[in-house]
Amino acid sequence: MTQMENDTLKAHSRTTSIPTDMEELASDNADQELTASLLGNDKDTLDQIEAAIQRIEDGSYGRCEQCGEQIPETRLDAIPYAAECERCASQQEKGHRP
Ligand SMILES: [Zn+2]
């Protein structure tokens, strides 16, 4: 798309309906709501999935954040966004729970 076409589109949407930015915002929110509802609205899980995607981009996915060891494939199958190996995760849980 050329810059001129883009400007024309923006001007068009400004005069006729919601600004383009608002539409983008709305569709972003819809995506997030869909993801959240698929996951049972679990914000923690969503955060972990986002962190996992970040790790895939970093190239550190599949490695334990605590000890740096490879997370077993069986664990990643069960919890694809797992950030820690089973050992470190269970230690964390003990630490967090009273
Ligand atoms: Zn570990």
Q: Which burial class, exposed, middle or buried, applies to 40 when counting CB atoms under 10 A from its CB (0-12, 13-18, 19+)?
A: exposed
CB atoms closer than 10 angstroms to residue 31: 10
- pLDDT for position 26: 63
- Averaged pLDDT, 2-18: 62
CA–centroid distance, residue 91 to ligand 1 (Å): 9
- pLDDT for position 24: 65
CA–centroid distance, residue 36 to ligand 1 (Å): 28
**Weakest mean pLDDT among 3-17, 62-76, 83-97:** 3-17
With a cut of 70, say whether residue 59 has pLDDT above it: yes
